[in-house]
Amino acid sequence: MIEGVKVKKLQKFTDDRGWLLEAFRVDEIPQGTQPAMSYVSMTKPGVTRGPHEHEDQTDIFVFIGPGTFQLNLWDNRKDSPTFGKTEKHEFGENNPGMVIVPPGVVHGYKNISDQEAWCLNYPNRLYAGEGKKEKVDEIRHENDSGSKFKIS
C-alpha cells in the first residue's frame, strides 16, 4: 500500500426503498484533510480522467457506480517510504469504495464498464482557491506523451 492512501470498501444498506451508504465519516478522515467542497462527476464508458497530482490538495474520492472504475495510483513523493509504488483498484456499483489520496500521489481513473459511472469528490481545498482567484493545484500528466503515468 502507498503510504498515506486510505482505501475503504463501503457498505450499502439495502431495504425495500433502495439503498444508502455512508460516503465518508469525519472520524475516518485524517486531521487537516476535512473537505472544503464537494463535486460529482459522471464519466462515460471507456473515458479516462487524469492522471494528475496535487501539490497541496488531498482528494477523498467515493466511487458508487452504476458503472465500474479502474483507479490507478502512483507514489510520486521522493521523501515517501513508498516512493515509486503503484496501486490499482476497481470500484463501482458492486464494489463501492472511498479512497483518500494525499498530495504527491498521482491518480487517475477510467470507466471500464459499458455504462456511465459516477464519482464523488470531497477535496480539502477549494478549486482555484477562494473566489476561484488562485492558481489551480494540479500537475497534469495526461497530456504528456512521455509520462510514465499511464492508464491502459
Q: What ranges do the domains of the chain cover?
A: 6-128
Question: Over the stretch 28-60, which tens digit does the pLDDT of each residue have?
Answer: 999 989 999 999 999 999 999 999 999 999 999
Locate 33 and state its grid cell: 484533510
**Does residue 143 surpass a pLDDT of 90?**
no
What angle (nearest 5°) sits at the alpha carbon of residue 122, between those of residues 86 and 120? 80
> Homologous superfamily of 6-128 in CATH?
Jelly Rolls (2.60.120.10)
101 Cβ contact list (under 8 Å, min separation 6): 5, 58, 59, 60, 61, 73, 107
**Does residue 134 surpass a pLDDT of 90?**
yes
- Per-residue pLDDT band for 152 (boundaries 50, 70, 90) equals confident
The percent of residues above 90 in pLDDT, for the chain, comes to 96
Residue spans of beta strands (DSSP E) within the chain = 6-9, 13-15, 18-20, 39-43, 48-53, 59-66, 68-75, 86-92, 97-101, 105-111, 117-121, 139-140
Q: Evaluate if pTM is beyond 0.85.
A: yes
Span 6-14, average pLDDT: 95
